[in-house]
Amino acid sequence: MSKKDMLNFLNGLSTSSLINTLNIEYSEIGENYLVAKMPVNSAVYQPDGILHGGATAALAETVGSTAARIFSNGNNQSRGIELSINHIKSVSKGHVYAKAKALHMGRSTQLWNIEITDDNKNIISISKLTTLTLNKNKSK
């Protein structure tokens, strides 16, 4: 599958989920990394009119979990089991971009670094996500 086809496929999976509610869109894929973007507007604000940390965390877990799933064996699913996030800078407009890069690709667990930046490439948040790899047939 081409990179463009994979991005279209991933974006098509999210029509009735939190990913759709937050308008998260996968935008770039490469060797062991995946990028998604999310608009920053009143739908994702905290009361002070800036991006809510929970929305940022949802973006981080979304892109990291999806990356874990697509870069593991096709017969597997991934579940986030630990997420840590440090918020560095606030943002109130534009888009934020989350780039998940593999730090460890084990047989049963993976560790992902997710850097979230704004339109000007300023670092907004840094996150680490640990995922558990499950056999698709046994995860239900």
What does each C-alpha distance from 6 to 9, 18, 117 come to in angstroms? Answer: 5, 20, 23
Instruction: Label residue 11 exposed, middle or buried (CB < 10 Å: 0-12, 13-18, 19+).
Output: middle
Helices (H), the chain: 3-12, 18-21, 53-71
Place of tokens 């990356």: 67
Identity of the amino acid at 134: L
Catalytic center residues = 61
